[in-house]
Amino acid sequence: MLGRKDYTKDEVDHARRAVDRQLAAYKKLVKASDGATSDAKVVAARAAFEPLFFDNMVLALDRFFVHRIRAVAGKDCNPLNEVELLVEALLNHDGVLHGNKVIKYVPAQTVLKLEIGDQIRLDPAQFERLANAFFAEIEAKFM
């Protein structure tokens, strides 16, 4: 597929609903396991699962809009480009954040404030902030 310079409201709404469904399922699982938080195995399993789940949610978030073009997304460290760098790190750098020659990455201007060289291990609050900012940027630039 060629690069995309715009997305429809239906496409954005569909992506948002898919992300929201997965977040809701995660929250339901957490709520169901809250009564077992004194069980060390449950606590350890949740602690091990959570960053893997939310790192993979970044991949899912990006996939809906993977063909966005640079001319519209820009080269600054907006949420679209932050997600692009996170995905690159998760897929090709064992989850360690790297910069690139195109995106002008300034950690203080990003949603997550991660530094180059940081290990990516998102928690629910970080992912929700990132997803909200990502969707807002998609709507502002591509709709």
Question: Which tens digit of pLDDT belongs to each residue from 56-65?
Answer: 999 999 999 9
Q: What is the pLDDT of residue 92?
A: 97
DSSP string, 31-72: HHHGGGTTSHHHHHHHHHHHHHHHHHHHHHHHHTTTTB-HHH
Q: What is the pLDDT of residue 33?
A: 81
Model confidence band, residue 32 (pLDDT cutoffs 50, 70, 90): confident
Q: What is the pLDDT of residue 52?
A: 96
Q: What is the pLDDT of residue 134?
A: 98
Say yes or no to pLDDT of 35 above 80. no
